[in-house]
Amino acid sequence: MSTTAVNTPASMELSPPRRTSLAADILTVMSRELKPALREPVSIIFTMIQPLILLALFGPLLAQVPGIPAGAALQWFVPGVLVMIAIFGTSMTGSNLLAEMQAGSHERMLVAPLHRSALITGRALKEFVPLLAQAVVIVLVVLPFGFHLDIAGAVAGLLILGVFGVGLGALSYALAIAVRKTDWIFWVVQQTVLFPVLILSGTMLPLDNAPGWMQAVATVNPVGHVVLAERALFNGDFGSVELIWGIVSALAVALLGLLVGGRAVRRSVG
């Protein structure tokens, strides 16, 4: 018997799927992550109520605290609340990934023709959709109580938070991959790191009268520099040196997170 070779036209030859742009992949991942939240709007409403409760209960306590300008407690506190919301949201990005790895859906995402960095960035940026909604609600609530809003500064501040959040979300992503076989470690590390970082950033209380060692740690805490930058921007102070340090800190965390997160994704594929 003889076999006859069949010539396949070049147009019919199989070729690997064509990659889309990085921006398109990020939007794809982001929209995928948003769909479960949009199907359960109650969770979004609940997350919007939490910051208002914090403002109502904690805000009045700051009126006479040394280090906070008289009559400007809201001006000082609101930007810190937004930073805190962003940190809590993006630092828990890895928890969603853990659930997907247990269900097996993460492996299907890895074989999809998507940029690996889009898997990280899209997940982190998803957390900023509720952040934007929360920011609008918070500002509308505090405006009648004397809060001054510089719109250009607020937009710039949210952009910086976006950059910072991508880095923090990528680090959370990397942590989830590292502890995927013992997922309880994720929560131990996340909580152990998160609260000291927040306290030593001056987010909720000024550190002017703190012990020297706390002030020393705060000077190298990137969250603290981001908080100071947010306060300057919400006041419309674009010439503050604190803004420069805030931008540098956000970019440094974003670069570190993308490097560590990208490496973790590549190792998980291998």
Domain boundaries, the chain: 20-269
pLDDT, one tens digit for every residue, the chain (270 residues)? 444 444 544 444 443 454 578 788 888 888 887 777 677 666 667 777 878 888 888 888 887 888 888 778 889 999 999 998 888 888 888 887 788 777 766 666 666 667 767 777 787 777 777 778 888 888 888 889 888 889 999 999 999 998 898 889 889 988 998 888 888 899 999 989 998 999 999 888 888 888 999 999 999 999 999 999 999 999 999 998 999 999 999 999 999 988 898 888 777 765
Residue 202: exposure state from Cβ atoms within 10 A (0-12, 13-18, ≥19): buried
User: How far apart are alpha carbons 78 and 167 in whole angstroms?
Assistant: 22
User: How far apart are alpha carbons 37 and 228 in whole angstroms?
Assistant: 31
The phi and psi torsions of 119 (rounded to 5 degrees) equal -60, -35
Q: Quick check: 244 and 88 in contact, CB under 8 A?
A: no
SS3 117: helix
Q: What is the pTM of this model?
A: 0.82
Tokens matching residue 19:
């990659």
Question: In 3D, which of 252, 94, 83 has the Cα closest to residue 171?
Answer: 94
The phi and psi torsions of 16 (rounded to 5 degrees) equal -65, 145
